[in-house]
Amino acid sequence: MIIGVLALQGAFAEHIELLKKLKVDAVPVRLPHQLEGLGGLIIPGGESTTITKLMANYNLTHKISELAQKSFPIFGTCAGMIVIASGVANGKIEPVGAIAIKVKRNAFGRQVDSFETELSIPVLGKKPFMGVFIRAPLIESVGKGVEVLAKLADGTIVAARQGKLLVCAFHPELTDDLRFHQYFLDIISGKR
């Protein structure tokens, strides 16, 4: 199985490296035809305005939206979560609208407010997961059929799943912890 990583802008190389550690073949995706034959797609962190504009340029928005409707597995981290959300509270972003969540961009402030914190993510086991939040978004509300996977201490939703769609507001690809990516692989294979 080959996983695609959307490589228009942002931390795509980090996801590819992490997938390699899990012994999974990963390829960068920049044009629609490169989506063919993939087992799943990761949309990385980066600038959501930049990524959505570059997606629209070469018809990737439409193609990815179509795939999501056919329950194609997609994992979005940070900007990637914004890209596949159904609604964005602030900013002129046109998301793909795949997963029934409403998100808020730059929800914690500017870069000086970026932070790391240990998260409890029950689906990944008891050991805490280090959440790296960089000018991060948050999930304001979730729709029907969306499972909340992680919250901050104050109750803010920062990770969720709907069917084969997975999102988080933080960056597992900036850590050495492989569990979040393994969870995505388990969703693809139907184990989870």
Partner 1 sequence: METGTWRVKVGLAQMLKGGVIMDVVTPEHAKIAEEAGACAVMALERVPADIRKAGGVARMSDPSVIEAIMKAVSIPVMAKCRIGHFVEAQVLEAMGIDYIDESEVLTPADQAHHVWKHDFKVPFVCGCRNLGEALRRIGEGAAMIRTKGEAGTGDIVEAVRHMRAVQDEIRKVINMPENELMAEAKELQAPFELVAEIHKTGKLPVVNFAAGGVATPADAALMMQLGADGIFVGSGIFKSSDPEVRAKAIVKATTHYKDAKIIAEVSKNLGQAMTGEDVKQIPPDKLMAGRGW
Ranges within 151-170 binding partner 1 (CB under 8 A): none
140 binds partner 1 (CB under 8 A): no
* Binder of partner 1 out of 72, 75, 129, 133 (CB under 8 A): 133
Instruction: Please report whether residue 112 would count as binding partner 1 according to CB under 8 A.
Output: yes
Residue 173 catalytic? Answer: yes
- In the residue annotation, 78 being an active-site residue is answered as yes
Tokens for 127, please give them. Answer: 């050991």
Contacts 24+ apart (CB under 8 A), 126-135: 129/172, 129/177, 129/179, 129/180, 130/175, 130/177, 131/158, 131/170, 132/170, 132/171, 132/174, 132/175, 133/108, 133/158, 133/169, 133/170, 133/171, 134/45, 134/78, 134/171, 135/106, 135/108, 135/110, 135/111
Answer yes or no whether residue 81 interacts with partner 1 by CB under 8 A.
no
Which secondary-structure segment (H or E) carries 75?
Answer: strand 74-77
Nearer to partner 1, 121 or 188 (CB): 121
Query: 8-27: which residues touch partner 1 (CB under 8 A)?
Result: 8-14
Active site residue 168: no
Q: Decide: 137 and 104 in contact? Cβ < 8 Å.
A: yes
Residue 55 or 185 having the CB closest to partner 1:
55
**Catalytic-labelled residue, pool 14, 15, 168, 173:** 173
Instruction: Decide if residue 47 touches partner 1 (CB under 8 A).
Output: yes
Binding-site ranges for partner 1 (CB under 8 A)? 7-14, 30, 45-47, 49-50, 53-54, 57, 78-79, 90-91, 105-106, 109-117, 132-135, 171, 174
